[in-house]
Structure 1
Amino acid sequence: MLKVLFAGTPEVAVPSLRVLAADQEHFEVVAVLTRPDAPQGRGRKLTPSPVKQAAQELGLPVLECNPNEPAFVDELVVTGAEAAAVVAYGRILKEDVLETLPMGWYNLHFSLLPQWRGAAPVQRAVWAGDKITGATVFRIDAGMDDGPILAQSTTEIGPHENAGQLLGRLAQDGAYLLSAALQGMADDQIQLTDQPDGSYEQAEKITADDAHIRFDVPCFAVDRQIRACTPNPGAWCLLHPKGTAQPSLAGSPDVPQVLHVLEARPSEADSEQTPKGLEPGKLLVTKKRIWVGTATEPLELLQVKAQGKKAMAAADWARGAHMSEDAFCE
């Protein structure tokens, strides 16, 4: 039985923790390393990470210390862990920490390494229009996601799948890949394979500014951006409900509003129902549908969240938004 330290923080790491903890024939999860409680919500109340909550539910001891502190190595030795399983932990581990466990540290990464090393591999794969992605289990070394590989699995990216949906699938499938890879490693049935040399796309973190939707590009590119930024950080644009800075009926200027686009769908260019000649950012509203123009065919908005409002069907939102025929997004 392999004694495992599990390190992770967000919800995406929970499936792996549960799978390892449930397989008591092959693994003993001796401790769970996670980030300290963090303030959340409007009240900024200190809240445990999803991994900590799951660990407490499973009755597992939790470590919240900083692995870069000198005392951490001693705490790690006390756990009796032989190897560590890491899923979205969120901290860089120093070399002395990596060398403490006799069988090493192993990370579940949500891409087909060496492609998309970095913080946002799923989002970047969706934004790039990749058709195939997957998960990789590799041994952590001093570099950035470049250690030798134990195992990989592949999956297709759905044509309308957003980053959150894809990450959820990969988290579930990857949990079993991680379990099988660690078991094979412990039984000496898997040989580590070095990652090939070469230049590969880096998965840099996506910021709120990156999520500001551009409509002056082809429709497929707008669709990819929205899906890549959903649910986090959330694709958004500025809505001009009156179309210009002209005065409203009350005499006030048109004030742009933040509009989050939660779901959209590219229009079929050859469909009779698809509007023609809609300029980038220009809105067209009918009784049941709403489109926004791009550099090519329009994009149909399906679900949105207006500033200060709840998420709702785009057509329902549009009926109550009191927009002029000149309304546009930028």
Structure 2
Amino acid sequence: MRLVFAGTPAVAVPTLRILAATHEIVAVVTRPDAPLGRKRVLTPSPVAAAADELGLPVIKAARLDAEVTERISALHADLGVIVAYGGIVREPLLSAPVHGWINLHFSLLPRWRGAAPVQRALIAGDAEIGVSVFQLVPQLDAGDVFAMRPVPVPSDATADVVLDVLADDGAVLTADVVDAIGEGSAVATAQSGEPTLAPKLSLEDGLLDWSQPLGMIFARLRGVTPEPGAHTTIDGARLKILAAEPAASDSPALAPGELQGTKTAVLIGTASNPLAVTRVQPAGKGAMSATDWWRGLHGHDELRAGS
């Protein structure tokens, strides 16, 4: 089939690659180049880079306005496929392809509709997540579902690791749905159950509350890593926590927010067992091991996380 593909981040690339191998991609729509790194160098999105490698025509657009709609409509595509593009498809573009648009979403719909399904699922402590391919409609992630695939959440995995797993599984599932639509055998069913929402994370979502038990704190840390990042305050300064794990069962009991250095980590007390922090980034500095950061502090006994 003639496909229009819309996507931006790395998690969309596996789907683009698998579809390009078996169908005609008449256009790849992605967000414009963005400044990256300390030098703020304009850099193509991962999808744009992959499309260039595959020799596919690219449309870079911050939003799908009338001009972009006209360009896509003129291609007479059979189907649109969208994976984390970062913009809303509205009419008349929604109906421009013969079969409309399908969307790969990283949750088991209707759970976690929105921009951050994996992150919200991890924060909530979900044991299972998955991927859904559904018919795009004007309402947020509310269309009929062609296929879903549950995936157990990898133990202790952070959001970026889980997304990589789902990106590969979702690419295969999306390709199967595209083939079925082309063959005329695809069947979509209405979503069933009470929807939950997964709005985009803010910096405040990464703030750890040491009065909570370890399980809740570690779940939040996994969900906000790598973005927007888990953090706490030490003596009024923000400390980003880049890597951590539940402390060993024989670790000393610590009061919530109490700090204790060891040879391999810095322990921070919670309402239950401590969190063992192994890598941090202090405000205005680069990433470093937690033990190096701890050795550089003065007045250890007077400092507490969250202060």
- TM > 0.5 fold call: yes
Cα drift, residue 323 of structure 1: 4.8
Q: 1:275 aligns with which of 230, 252, 257?
A: 252
Structure 2 equivalent of residue 250 of structure 1: none
Q: Which amino acid aligns with 1:274?
A: S
Deviation of 1:306 (Å): 2.3
Q: Which runs of 5+ in 1 are unaligned?
A: 241-255
Residue number among 275, 282, 298 corresponding to 2:274 in the alignment: 298
Per the alignment, residue 10 of structure 1 pairs with 9
User: What SS does the corresponding residue of 2:154 show, helix, strand or coil?
Assistant: coil
The 1-side partners of 2:221 and 2:259 are apart by 17
Asked if the contact 1:266–1:300 (Cα under 8 Å) also holds between the matched residues in 2, the reply is: yes
Contact 1:67 1:73 in 2 (8 A): no
Match of 1:205 among 178, 196, 200: 200
Q: Measure, in 2, the Cα distance between the counterparts of 1:192 and 1:172.
A: 22
Q: Deviations over 1:186-224 (max 9, x none)?
A: 11222111112x432210111001111111111111101
- Shift of residue 37, structure 1, vs aligned partner: 1.8
- Hey, what does 1:178 align to over in structure 2? 174
Paired position in structure 1 for 2:288: 312
Matched, 1:119 2:115: yes
Distance across 1 between alignment mates of 2:123 and 2:70: 43
Counterpart-to-counterpart distance in 1, 2:85 and 2:191: 22
Alignment deviations for residues 215-239 of structure 1 (CA, whole Å, 9 cap, x no partner)? 1111111101111100001111112
Distance 2:108 2:263 in 1: 44
Q: Secondary structure at the match of 1:258?
A: strand
> Structure 2: which amino acid aligns with 1:104?
G
Deviations 1:88-131 (A, max 9, x none): 00111112111111111010000000100001000000000000
The residue that corresponds to 2:209 in the other structure is 214
Q: Give TM-score, length-normalised by structure 2.
A: 0.94
Say whether residues 1:19 and 2:18 are aligned partners: yes
**How far apart, CA to CA, are the structure 1 residues paired with 2:84 and 2:70?**
23
How many residues are paired up? 306
Q: Which runs of 4+ in 1 moved over 6 A?
A: none
Contact 1:87 1:109 in 2 (8 A): yes
Matches for 1:140-155 after TM superposition, within 5 Å: 140-155=136-151
For the 8 Å contact 2:100–2:136, the answer to whether it is kept is yes
* Secondary structure of 1:118 counterpart: coil
Q: Tell me what 1:101 maps to.
A: 97
- Assess if the C-alpha contact under 8 Å between 2:115 and 2:198 holds in 1: yes
Query: Which of 238, 252, 256 in structure 1 is aligned with 2:233?
Result: 238
The alignment's C-alpha RMSD in Å is 1.7
Q: Following the alignment from structure 2 to structure 1, what is the Cα–Cα distance between the partners of residues 24 and 61?
A: 21
Identity of aligned residues (%): 42
Per the TM alignment, residue 67 of structure 1 is displaced from its structure 2 partner at its CA by 5.4
- From 239, 242, 260, the counterpart of 1:259: 239
* Structure 2 counterpart of 1:38, from 34, 38, 43: 34
Question: How far, CA to CA, are the matches of 1:312 and 1:22 in structure 2?
Answer: 42
Give me the whole-angstrom Cα distance separating, in 2, the residues matched to 1:42 and 1:302: 25
User: How many Å apart are 1:141 and its aligned residue?
Assistant: 0.7
Which residue does the alignment assign to 1:91? 87
CA displacement at 1:83 relative to structure 2: 0.4
**Cα pair distance change 1:185/1:317, threshold 3 Å:** same
